[in-house]
Chain A
């Protein structure tokens, strides 16, 4: 032990100091063990957890969105494609003064209040640091140039080029193609987990029309890329990549020229035209006018534009061809005639005297023919060609609504045709049961009389009328209407064929329909004139509102919107139909005068070559060949 140096109790001092030093040594060792234990805990026990955390820091999985499939018409002409869209995004972490930057950007590209609000919403919401936030979509070329020049002064402001949907034909195809628009939060909430993963890098999806119908096909499958990033989100290298599977291109039966003819035929009207190839069920034209500019909807339609569409009296947002339900008028007389013939309540030889009206036995109510003075003696052929109402009143009275309804169903009335578009309406094929359910009333004879000429409760969409015409053209053989040229799925709606005990009725009814256009007194004889082929058709004029029994009807005095709807259905060439068409002109007036000529234009476009010779293009699918794609499977 050290020698005493001072005058104090060294033994005592040494003892105390030794004890204290030992205590601190123990403390040092214990605390070192605590540290060592902590390190063992972090690095050995919790190692895996922290490895995951560390990888999650450094490795980011980016979703690679697949390019959306293009839509082409039957000849490969582009109907919907993808074009680069320049948008302004902002990385808040790189911005020095947000307010100043926003006002500076605003000086260069004019930001709407909506844009700024949406941006601020995203900024305050949950987000990953260093992730760019969209500020303004669809920058014009001019704005783009101004931005690029000034970009060096605006750190954090980026210009992104992303492909967005573009519809080169605008309104013309708007009701068949539909449009894509931004996926909303609600849309995401509706998706399944797998779907959400597939849409992680996608900003748009099909909202309506074919874009929606074939969304899964057009969208494709998202790819993934694992990248190593630093804390500021800069990608340092790509670790692995699984490329996206591009969406498939969609080839349509639709023919752009026929579509254009139909669109132009309705110029200045509200209405719809649907044309089909009866040989394969392919839809050649599908027009509802007025249309909308689908390009406005892609990046988000402005409130003003949307309000203008919504408040337009002509209702451009309304898809008349698919959802417009109109009284079919006389266009369904053939079905009733065939029903009468099949059930034996009438023959081709039977004639009736038409005084211009029909009165139910023991009732005072009078049902008038469109021709006040009456048609005189009329048989079935004349009744179709000249569209005699009285003949069908009488026949329907004998036939009864039950048999009419059952027979009409075979032509697709009262149910969706199954065309490949979302939200198709079914129309109404009235029956006793329907009236009891819908109106809570029982069926009266008068209802049958009204139904016989496609009035009263009967409603059909233009799509349904085209389908019914196709079944007529195919002499009762059903077909599935298709806009896109794709193999049919097994569950596609297939109807029972309409069979007649006397197949010759088909030919005789067709002959009567040909006389509508080619007969001396046919209701559309002006349209049938100079045709290079025979057309079988039927005019229809359906009342928008009913006149009092003895009230006079003066077309000029009735307000335009209360005028009759003009309808016309036809197929041609009559001996080997290659097109079936239904034309509806809202408040057009006369079916023969207004609707029929439009159908003629469309049929000419499809059937004639450039020299005006009959040369119908071949069907796309061979329905008679059972191995060919497109044949519905039997269940």
Chain B
């Protein structure tokens, strides 16, 4: 049976061999794991340069990545039906945590996003929702026949918008957008009618300017302004975009060489080890490095979509596709913002940017993806 599926995915070879190997028995998808490992290791090299050759930074990043990989392996062992069973509970728990953040969250840089857990540290409940919301929507649609009826859509929107609103209030625009995207992607994959999509887009195009003037915070508005016209204040808000474009552009085809990027190493590039780390890669390794990274990301996304294609139940395929596509949204938004295509929103370059709880969430997501991939045979038998 599995051979059949394998043949259906064009260009895929490793998946078939993985079906009988050690990885398969450990519930790991070796192509995906290999690509993720390459990404993490490559990212460490870039980070070493971006962080000014700080080994301390490297060690902390390695620990974070290691923790993420542990989470991946553990979550890969849990069969999808268990996830499906627990989804409503996790979603509800996430909502509770978000409410807790609102009440007793830690404040940092004008936002209240963190929740302290004694003896464990602090974490962002918003991150959980990146997985819990698409899972919840997938769960909701798993029993319904497509295409979704209007009241189903409305229900799904409620599921999505409650946590999104709570996260946006912290405020954390980046996470809110990613959570919303993850949930809406499930809605789309579940068969949301094109007419509704077109209608919504029309509403958004009208609502966006209103949002700009009445809903956005000042700093968010500044970001949009800066995106639209970075030259207006080259030493102020436009600085990041100008400097990152300069870094990338000056890298050229093959870059200035690893550890030789002047923009980042002479501190002209702000946030060079976190959100703007792509600019360091672009400067030091050039177009070759950037396209290589993009290809690696693309491979991971396509592999994730392939997993969802082969998934046997509605819940699994919706969740798998949503996780893969959310990952791509990370990539697109970050690369778009660093290269000046999109406004600056706090979205890290996945698995490469230093720090952030996103590393754990992302790798956890891939753990679920692997679970969906590797538990398929058990389910179909």
Name A residues whose Cβ lies closer than 8 Å to a Cβ of B.
2-3, 5-6, 8-9, 12-13, 16-18, 20-21, 24-25, 28-29, 31-32, 34-36, 38-40, 42-44, 46-47, 49-51, 53-55, 57-58, 129, 228-232, 236
User: Is the C-beta of B153 less than 8 angstroms from some C-beta in chain A?
Assistant: no
* Per-position 1/0 for B308-333, Cβ under 8 A of A: 11001110010001000100100110
Given contacts A16-B146, A39-B290, 4 further A-B contacts (CB under 8 A): A3-B380, A9-B145, A12-B145, A43-B290
Separation of A107 and B48 alpha carbons in the complex (Å):
47
Cβ-defined contact, B339 with A39, below 8 A: yes
Whether A24 contacts B235 in the complex (CB less than 8 A), given A53-B246, A228-B266, comes out as no
User: Is the C-beta of B158 less than 8 angstroms from some C-beta in chain A?
Assistant: no
Which residues on the B side are within 8 Å of A24 (C-beta)? 185, 188-189, 305, 321, 325
Whether A42 contacts B332 in the complex (CB less than 8 A), given A58-B262, A129-B235, comes out as no
User: Is the C-beta of B267 less than 8 angstroms from some C-beta in chain A?
Assistant: yes
Closest A-chain residue to B262, C-beta based? A58
- What's the minimum C-beta distance from A10 to chain B, rounded to whole angstroms? 9
- What's the minimum C-beta distance from A39 to chain B, rounded to whole angstroms? 5
Separation of A38 and B249 alpha carbons in the complex (Å):
10
User: Is the C-beta of B143 less than 8 angstroms from some C-beta in chain A?
Assistant: yes
Whether A16 contacts B249 in the complex (CB less than 8 A), given A24-B185, A25-B302, comes out as no
- Kindly identify which residue among A2, A42, A43, A58 contacts B268, using a CB–CB cutoff of 8 Å: A58
Which residues on the B side are within 8 Å of A36 (C-beta)? 291, 294
Separation of A35 and B287 alpha carbons in the complex (Å):
11
Separation of A50 and B269 alpha carbons in the complex (Å):
14
Which residues on the B side are within 8 Å of A49 (C-beta)? 249
Closest B-chain residue to A45, C-beta based? B249
* Per-position 1/0 for B189-211, Cβ under 8 A of A: 11100000000000000000000
Which residues on the B side are within 8 Å of A2 (C-beta)? 312-313, 380
Name B residues whose Cβ lies closer than 8 Å to a Cβ of A.
143-147, 185, 188-191, 235, 242-243, 245-253, 262-263, 266-268, 282, 286-287, 290-291, 294, 298, 301-302, 305, 308-309, 312-314, 317, 321, 325, 328, 331-332, 335-336, 339-341, 380
Which residues on the A side are within 8 Å of B147 (C-beta)? 16
Separation of A38 and B286 alpha carbons in the complex (Å):
13
Cβ-defined contact, B250 with A51, below 8 A: yes
- What's the minimum C-beta distance from B331 to chain A, rounded to whole angstroms? 8
Between A and B, 23 residue pairs with Cβ closer than 8 Å are A2-B313, A3-B312, A12-B145, A16-B191, A18-B309, A24-B185, A28-B305, A28-B325, A32-B298, A38-B335, A39-B248, A43-B253, A44-B287, A46-B249, A47-B249, A47-B250, A50-B245, A53-B249, A53-B250, A54-B249, A57-B246, A230-B266, A230-B268
Which residues on the A side are within 8 Å of B235 (C-beta)? 129
Closest A-chain residue to B248, C-beta based? A42
Cβ-defined contact, B266 with A57, below 8 A: yes
Closest A-chain residue to B336, C-beta based? A35
- What's the minimum C-beta distance from A235 to chain B, rounded to whole angstroms? 11
Cβ-defined contact, B287 with A43, below 8 A: yes
- What's the minimum C-beta distance from A169 to chain B, rounded to whole angstroms? 49
Please list the 7 inter-chain residue pairs (A to B) with the smallest Cβ-Cβ separation, ordered nearest first. A50-B249, A54-B250, A231-B267, A230-B266, A43-B287, A8-B145, A16-B191
Separation of A20 and B184 alpha carbons in the complex (Å):
13
Closest B-chain residue to A20, C-beta based? B189
Which residues on the B side are within 8 Å of A47 (C-beta)? 249-253
Closest A-chain residue to B317, C-beta based? A17
Separation of A13 and B318 alpha carbons in the complex (Å):
11
Closest A-chain residue to B188, C-beta based? A20
Cβ-defined contact, A28 with B328, below 8 A: yes
Which residues on the B side are within 8 Å of A34 (C-beta)? 341
Which residues on the B side are within 8 Å of A18 (C-beta)? 309
Closest B-chain residue to A38, C-beta based? B339
Cβ-defined contact, A236 with B266, below 8 A: yes
Separation of A226 and B339 alpha carbons in the complex (Å):
30
Cβ-defined contact, B321 with A21, below 8 A: yes
Separation of A38 and B314 alpha carbons in the complex (Å):
36
Which residues on the B side are within 8 Å of A229 (C-beta)? 266
Separation of A54 and B261 alpha carbons in the complex (Å):
10
Separation of A57 and B145 alpha carbons in the complex (Å):
60
Closest A-chain residue to B305, C-beta based? A25
Closest B-chain residue to A23, C-beta based? B188
- What's the minimum C-beta distance from B323 to chain A, rounded to whole angstroms? 12
Separation of A58 and B247 alpha carbons in the complex (Å):
12
Cβ-defined contact, A31 with B332, below 8 A: yes
- Most chain A CB atoms below 10 A, which of B246, B321, B341: B246
Cβ-defined contact, A50 with B250, below 8 A: yes
Which residues on the B side are within 8 Å of A230 (C-beta)? 266-268
Cβ-defined contact, A28 with B298, below 8 A: yes
Separation of A6 and B313 alpha carbons in the complex (Å):
9
Cβ-defined contact, A43 with B248, below 8 A: yes
- Kindly identify which residue among B266, B268, B301 contacts A28, using a CB–CB cutoff of 8 Å: B301
Closest B-chain residue to A3, C-beta based? B380
- Kindly identify which residue among A5, A9, A42 contacts B339, using a CB–CB cutoff of 8 Å: A42
Separation of A34 and B335 alpha carbons in the complex (Å):
10
Which residues on the A side are within 8 Å of B313 (C-beta)? 2, 5-6
- What's the minimum C-beta distance from A599 to chain B, rounded to whole angstroms? 67
- What's the minimum C-beta distance from A4 to chain B, rounded to whole angstroms? 10
Closest A-chain residue to B261, C-beta based? A54
Cβ-defined contact, A21 with B339, below 8 A: no
Which residues on the B side are within 8 Å of A5 (C-beta)? 312-313
Cβ-defined contact, A232 with B308, below 8 A: no
Separation of A46 and B245 alpha carbons in the complex (Å):
10
Which residues on the A side are within 8 Å of B341 (C-beta)? 34-35, 38
- Kindly identify which residue among B191, B291, B380 contacts A20, using a CB–CB cutoff of 8 Å: B191
- Kindly identify which residue among A17, A35, A42 contacts B294, using a CB–CB cutoff of 8 Å: A35
Cβ-defined contact, B294 with A32, below 8 A: yes
Which residues on the A side are within 8 Å of B247 (C-beta)? 50, 54
Closest A-chain residue to B278, C-beta based? A39
Closest B-chain residue to A5, C-beta based? B313
Which residues on the B side are within 8 Å of A43 (C-beta)? 248-249, 251-253, 282, 286-287, 290
- Kindly identify which residue among A3, A20, A32, A51 contacts B249, using a CB–CB cutoff of 8 Å: A51
Separation of A295 and B85 alpha carbons in the complex (Å):
91
Separation of A55 and B242 alpha carbons in the complex (Å):
14
- What's the minimum C-beta distance from A6 to chain B, rounded to whole angstroms? 7
Cβ-defined contact, A42 with B249, below 8 A: yes
Which residues on the A side are within 8 Å of B263 (C-beta)? 54, 57-58
Separation of A2 and B311 alpha carbons in the complex (Å):
8
- What's the minimum C-beta distance from B5 to chain A, rounded to whole angstroms? 9
- What's the minimum C-beta distance from A49 to chain B, rounded to whole angstroms? 7
- What's the minimum C-beta distance from B147 to chain A, rounded to whole angstroms? 6
Which residues on the A side are within 8 Å of B145 (C-beta)? 8-9, 12-13
Cβ-defined contact, A39 with B317, below 8 A: no
Which residues on the B side are within 8 Å of A9 (C-beta)? 145-146
- What's the minimum C-beta distance from A52 to chain B, rounded to whole angstroms? 8
Cβ-defined contact, A35 with B305, below 8 A: no
Separation of A36 and B286 alpha carbons in the complex (Å):
12
- What's the minimum C-beta distance from A336 to chain B, rounded to whole angstroms? 74
Separation of A383 and B191 alpha carbons in the complex (Å):
128
Separation of A129 and B332 alpha carbons in the complex (Å):
34
Which residues on the A side are within 8 Å of B253 (C-beta)? 43-44, 47
Separation of A40 and B312 alpha carbons in the complex (Å):
40
Closest B-chain residue to A42, C-beta based? B249
- What's the minimum C-beta distance from B244 to chain A, rounded to whole angstroms? 10
Separation of A172 and B350 alpha carbons in the complex (Å):
77
Which residues on the A side are within 8 Å of B252 (C-beta)? 43-44, 47, 51
Cβ-defined contact, A42 with B245, below 8 A: yes
Closest A-chain residue to B239, C-beta based? A231
Whether A39 contacts B291 in the complex (CB less than 8 A), given A3-B380, A21-B308, A50-B249, comes out as yes
- What's the minimum C-beta distance from B306 to chain A, rounded to whole angstroms? 10
Separation of A468 and B46 alpha carbons in the complex (Å):
84
Which residues on the B side are within 8 Å of A8 (C-beta)? 143-145
Closest A-chain residue to B235, C-beta based? A129
Cβ-defined contact, A39 with B189, below 8 A: no
- Most chain B CB atoms below 10 A, which of A3, A21, A46, A232: A21
- What's the minimum C-beta distance from B376 to chain A, rounded to whole angstroms? 9
